[in-house]
A = this chain, B = another copy of it.
Amino acid sequence: MEKLTLVKVGGKIVEEPQSLKQLLSDFSKIKGYKVLVHGGGRSATALAAKLGIESKMVNGRRITDEETLKVVTMVYGGLVNKQIVAGLQAIGVNALGLTGADMNYMRSEKRPVKDVDYGFVGDVKEVNADILADLIGKGVVPVLAPLTHDKEGNLLNTNADTIAGEAAKALAGHFEVTLMYCFEKKGVLTDENDDESVISNLTPELFEKYVAEGVINGGMIPKLENSFEALNAGVRAVVITRADLIHTDGGTKIEL
């Protein structure tokens, strides 16, 4: 199978013209087939504020009422996604911006109300990777916005990390997939105060050892558990790194 790199970047880096330009340049240098998944939360919060809509977050997730859904549809599906697509086209990358509704590539269901009513937020139920894989094989580079749909006419807000993980797992049937999560550090650190203490390679055994020793802790644990889940579902490698290192061998590489 051919190699495919799926890169997930957060909102901040794609929301400022200078950092976006650098990111797209770095992304274009990745060899082989590729997919980009983006956030856009800061722009959504900013637009909502201008429109007098309060942004409510619970556990880091946006409560998405009807008006907020319109805001994220405009910002994620329109502004951020299309600026990335146009920026990639300018440097010769044949980008195609998609929400889950487009070609029904990712279907979700509205999250059931338990302790929290998240509103129009979707949990992924089905990924149709065939048509994506076909386009990728023709040189198209999908740019995935953090929006899905329920195939009943409703768009749903879906976390970009989730979109990345689900797309990577589904594409693993067609490609040898490396899933790359970008965050603000160079990788998983053994010492949070030392940015150079990057763990280059992580296995399930090493992960358990580091957790037992308290070297890996806090929010990094669920992030890595999700990574192992993707690996168990067929993704070849997960890399956790900083956005400016995506075209290098830097960061923490996680393999089974």
Contact, CB under 8 Å: A89 / B74: no
Q: Nearest B residue to A85 by beta-carbon distance?
A: B101
Verify B85–A94 contact, CB threshold 8 A: no
Q: Give Cα distance in the complex from A152 to B87, angstroms.
A: 7
Q: What mask results when residues 81 to 116 of chain A are scored 1 for a CB within 8 Å of chain B, else 0?
A: 111011101100011111101111000000000000
- Once the chains are docked, how many angstroms separate the CA of A149 from the CA of B96? 13
Indicate whether A153 sits within 8 Å of B86 (C-beta atoms), given known contacts A74-B74, A102-B97, A104-B94: yes
* Assembly stoichiometry (copies): 2
Contact of A153 among B87, B104, B140 (CB under 8 A): B87
Closest chain-B Cβ to A137's Cβ sits at a distance in Å of 12
Extra 18 A-B pairs, beta carbons < 8 Å, given A82-B101, A86-B153: A50-B50, A51-B51, A74-B74, A74-B75, A74-B78, A77-B78, A78-B82, A82-B147, A85-B99, A85-B102, A86-B101, A86-B149, A86-B154, A90-B152, A90-B153, A95-B102, A96-B98, A103-B140
